[in-house]
Amino acid sequence: PIIPGLKPFKTKAQLSVLPSFFKIDLPDDLVEAVENCKDNKEVQQVGIEWGIQQSRELKEHGVPVLHYYSMGKSSSVQKIAEAVF
């Protein structure tokens, strides 16, 4: 089975780091939202909001399991899980 993996943004630097590390393309809307943030606290909130929306959409489409990349910093994942599950 294919298990979707979600990594909530926490810093602006992840705009360049995550695509090269995970070999992914980021949605233009997400890149713009992160670039418009004044600080990493705002970036983290954008990451949480996007994570909630993506999780809900995947669940609505019948995806049975979601994997979250917390990279040792689970506060964003915790907030997403509280909102979705």
Q: Which residue has the higher pLDDT, 12 or 71?
A: 12
User: Which structural domain, as residue segments, surrounds residue 51?
Assistant: 5-84
Q: What is the pLDDT of residues 34-85, one digit of tens each?
A: 999 999 999 999 999 999 999 999 999 999 999 999 988 899 999 999 999 9
**How confident is the model at residue 73, as a pLDDT?**
83
> For the chain, what is the domain count?
1
- The whole-angstrom separation of Cα 29 and Cα 74 is 24
Write down the pTM of the prediction.
0.90
The residues, any chain, with a CB within 8 Å of residue 1's CB and separated by 6 or more, are 64, 65
- With CA atoms as reference, report the closest residue to 50 among 84, 1, 16: 84
Local confidence band at 9 (pLDDT 50, 70, 90 cut-offs) = very high
